[in-house]
Amino acid sequence: MIFKVHAKNTLYQGRVFALEQWNVTTPDGRETTYDLIAHPGAVTLLPLDDEGQVLFIRQHRLGAGGVLLELPAGTLEDGEDPSVCAGRELREETGMSADQLTLLGDFYMVPGYSTEHMWVYLATGLRPAPLAGDLDEFIEVEPIPLAQVWQMAAAGEIHDGKSLASLLLAQKHLNQGGPSNTSTSQ
């Protein structure tokens, strides 16, 4: 069930990703082309403060046509370790740094048309340490109690896929027995 790649052509190179066209042979021997977004990878953070609140952000997303509630996230720089990116993005987007970053897991965002691989970190021991954010980001930080986060996710009030996937990965680290139990033992 393996596709054999013959050639990759870059059709467009942007600031964050490239649009590539791949010439491949399918497992049944047919030759075809696939369009693929080549992405360097990214991180998502679940920042949990000492009061049991998760620091979400609100920002306008052109692709969604409006403002989304999301966990902080960001794109890896060339050759950057995901944990380094996580620390930087936490400071840029929330103004906080973490005493501890715990890798919760990783996943592919949309492997049908993108190479974007995302690492998810739980950030604890938060303390103020702001960094200037990206010039094109207009972000509002919104602390939400962990119990409310689970309710919002279950009610379909969080529409950002990376945030929902990150919450799923965080469940075993944040509760004993699922979203109805909101203890924050680690």
Q: Render pLDDT for 62-104 as a digit per residue (tens, 0 to 9).
A: 999 999 999 999 999 999 999 999 999 999 999 999 999 999 9
Q: What is the CA radius of gyration of the chain?
A: 18
- For residue 177, pLDDT over 80 is answered with no
Active site residue 157: no
Q: Give mean pLDDT, residues 11-32.
A: 96
Q: What is the pLDDT of residue 132?
A: 81
pLDDT interval class at 179 (50, 70, 90) = very low
Strand duo 42-47 + 117-128: pairing: parallel
Helical pair 161-174 and 146-154, crossing angle rounded to 10 deg: 130
Q: What is the pLDDT of residue 182?
A: 39
Q: What is the pLDDT of residue 178?
A: 44
pLDDT interval class at 4 (50, 70, 90) = very high
CATH number of the domain at 42-174, please? Answer: 3.90.79.10
The answer to whether 166 touches 104, Cβ cutoff 8 Å, is yes
Q: Find the catalytic residue in 51, 77, 137, 140.
A: 137
The residue with tokens 């010039």 is 135
The answer to whether 140 touches 58, Cβ cutoff 8 Å, is yes
Q: CA 137 to CA 129: how far, in whole Å? A: 18
Helical ranges in 55-133 per DSSP H: 82-94
